[in-house]
Structure 1
Amino acid sequence: MSVLPAHVTRDPLRLVLVLIGGVTVLTGACQLFAPGFVLDRLSADSTGISRHLFATVGMFMVVVGGLLVQGLLTPAPPPYLLFWAGLQKFGAFVLVGIGVLRDLFAALALLVAFFDLATALLCWLMARRLASRAGDLHTAGAAR
């Protein structure tokens, strides 16, 4: 017996995005509650202000990751939810990449950046699929 609804476990893309959302919540919580530890792993400066700002980013990761999970657990999440979650992940890709280019983070951070890029693309793929299904339902209802 699965703790996840059948509409999640039967859909590999939805399942992967639910898992990624959960990981986003966990990693965001790490940044929120232990920003210095995470900054040290990324070979970044760990000052009072950088830890505070990194914790703030972690809080937003918890919120967006939680929104993604909760939305995908519903049978018919709105496509815009996936669009905005993907936009957040794409923004993270860009900004972490810039941080590496500016030598603010170690090259190891590029793994995180490219994971965020892949997640953004998956979110947008799911948004497109949901929008297509919503259009099919709307068209089917109008044909009656």
Structure 2
Amino acid sequence: MSVLPARVTRDPLRLVLVLIGAVTVLTGASQVVAPGPVLDLLSADPTALSRHLFATVGMFMIVVGGLLVHGLLGPAPPPYLLWWTGLQKFGAFVLVGVGVLRDLFGPIALLVAFFDLATALLCWLLGHRLGSRSGRPLTAGAGR
């Protein structure tokens, strides 16, 4: 017996994004609980301010990752869910990349940045596919 619904396990893209959402929740939680060690791993200066802000970012990661998992486990996730999640992941890619360019993070953070870029593209791909099937465009509002 699978823990995940068949509609998720039958669709490799949906399954990958559910797993990425779960990893986003877990990594966000690690940033909330232990921002200093995570900043050390990224070769960033763990000041009191940076630890607090990093923990705040972790809280948003928990929310966005949880929203992605929750939405994808449902029978008909709205395409705009994938649009907004992809936009958040793309924004993370840009901002982490800028942080590396400004020497705020070490080069290892580029792995995180490109993972977020790949996730954004996967979100937009699934959102486009779901929108095409339902006749609802990727960016259509909930009230349409």
Would the TM-score normalized by the shorter structure come out above 0.5?
Answer: yes
- Identify the residue that residue 76 of structure 2 maps to in structure 1: 76
Distance 2:64 2:133 in 1: 24
Pairing of 1:3-82 with structure 2 (within 5 A): 3-82=3-82
> Displacement, 1:40?
0.6
> Displacement, 1:37?
0.8
Distance 2:3 2:41 in 1: 33
The two structures have a TM-score, normalised by structure 1, of: 0.93
- Identify the residue that residue 106 of structure 1 maps to in structure 2: 106
Moved >2 Å (runs of 4+): none
Unmatched tracts of structure 2, length 5 or more: 137-144
The code of the aligned residue for 1:15 comes to L
> Displacement, 1:102?
0.4
Cα RMSD for the two superposed structures? 0.8
3-state secondary structure, aligned to 1:3? coil
> Displacement, 1:54?
0.3
Structure having the larger proportion of residues in helix: 1
Distance 1:97 1:122 in 2: 19
> Displacement, 1:134?
1.0
The code of the aligned residue for 1:56 comes to T
Q: Percent identity?
A: 82
> Displacement, 1:76?
0.3
The two structures have a TM-score, normalised by structure 2, of: 0.93
